[in-house]
A and B are shown apart, each in its own frame.
Chain A
């Protein structure tokens, strides 16, 4: 069993949950005063006891973010290369059992998308695929990266978990970041949502950031799908994972994403929803706990919410996103992974940021750093 699997299994889900619920107001105040918050402080910040202090927590989060990252927002956009998938994930629009037209972009189509995204002003692009080794395996990805290199300064991937040597090939080809979400850290619950396909292997997925770290990936993105299990406990497990990775792969940057379950072509309905207030609590708690971790805000969130929440701890945002392969070139809205909520264009988001005293940063990398 891998080191990370042992670490995760050494924690007891119910005990962690109870410990978070038992945190008191004085634990919350202690966490707010701590110069180096611990995992126990993080629990306090995530706890229901912290809710009455939310404005203080959010203010501290905003201040720490400003200090570390400045009045800027990194801009990125997803480029969906394929919606083919061999997994059954009961919450996902790309799930193998969903009767959805499948599509994998050809070279020509990739270039078409690249031109459009580039014209939107983007320099940082996130390549997304489903998990289908025979069509979107490493050779497909290497080819896509090669095609896209001349267009973009930074290319990241959110694709199926790969082997260490495959990550090495991708890093050498110019891949900057690898995003791989555990979805849930609850081993048994994970099984129920991922009954079939390679993704049903909890441990293989859990050790993916290790393989990416060993391969020298510049940035690793973690996250859980909010709605599958208790978000407070998920956040705690994510933080344990983050600390574990930071110590081992100290040359790698880390980011956290907060996908909230959104309606899609499947039938699943989320039970463990998070309120907007709790969402603010979640990101603020992360920022206070780890002042250097990057936090990413996607178009799953609504316009009004994004306009108000971005400055409270986030460091990167997407805008004008399409979540279906070929979505930028073809207006027809089908084949998508999930419905986005903020449909404003990249230019509109840039204007919104500027009006609030923030500079959108389109380029913060150079292809010479490979």
Chain B
């Protein structure tokens, strides 16, 4: 049996749980939570990288030997995102990029028009681009067409912990996509992550639900298990949901004996 790994661009991952780095009470707590989650890919905002700080966010991420996925959080349009991407590549030594452009600082919803424009440019510039987008199937196909290595549609507005509010659209995206689909944003409980993977998502990205949990390290462990269970359930092929009851003693068997 071939091992179940996720491949994005030229990199394989055992874990289908990607994580963020915000909102933790300290770098050290973040480090322990990320270790407990079993994550191999961690996104970090370029704007939080602070070379003047002794134990900044990068110190802890390097200690854990995680793959870094720099993101462009803070960019309001394509031009800023492209500039931030280049700075991130230089500062962090990776050409991987989570492209996020949210001109709306209130709900941090991604701008589809600017995202496509920036993605096209960044792919040309040699980046492995993973764009954060609304759960819009057509947009995801457009991003695939311009060369994105994966798409990251949201489950619910970021930070809300509301779960898979966009599930009907995520199902279409998963059905149509040729690149990995990573459900990002809004996953508030391990059960939400499990549901996304059961549905066939390639991976999930979780941050707030771990960082602001009563015990972030324990919650990270719970997400790890949920992702494993969700993926196994997907592979085992879920029993179909039936609209009608199926009587265990057939209702019309008397007809045969007539």
Contacts and interface: CB of A to CB of B under 8 A. Distances in A.
Contact of A68 (B87, B104, B159): B159
B161 A364 contact: no
Interface stretch (B6-14, B76-84, B146-154, B191-199): B76-84
B251 to A, nearest CB: 45
Q: What secondary structure prevails in chain B residues at the interface with A?
A: loop
Interface string B11-45: 00000000000111111000000000000000001
A124 to B, nearest CB: 11
A61 to B, nearest CB: 15
Contact of A357 (B25, B50, B106, B161): B25
Interface residues of A, number: 31
A361 B27 contact: no
A123 B161 contact: no
B50 A366 contact: no
A304 B58 CA distance: 33
A118 B50 CA distance: 12
Given A68-B159, A70-B22, A368-B87, A363 B80 contact: no
Nearest to B216: A71
Contacts of A359: 24-27
Contacts of A363: 47-50, 52-53, 56
B50 A362 contact: yes
Nearest to B54: A121
A37 B208 CA distance: 23
B46 interface: yes
Interface in B203-225: 208, 211-212
Contacts of A203: none
17 contacts: A67-B208, A70-B211, A71-B24, A71-B211, A72-B22, A72-B24, A123-B52, A219-B105, A250-B103, A292-B105, A292-B106, A354-B26, A357-B26, A365-B47, A368-B80, A368-B83, A368-B87
Interface of B: 22-27, 45-50, 52-53, 56, 74-76, 80, 83-84, 87, 103-107, 159, 161, 208, 211-212
Interface of A: 66-72, 118, 121, 123, 153, 218-219, 246, 250-253, 292, 354, 357-359, 361-366, 368-369
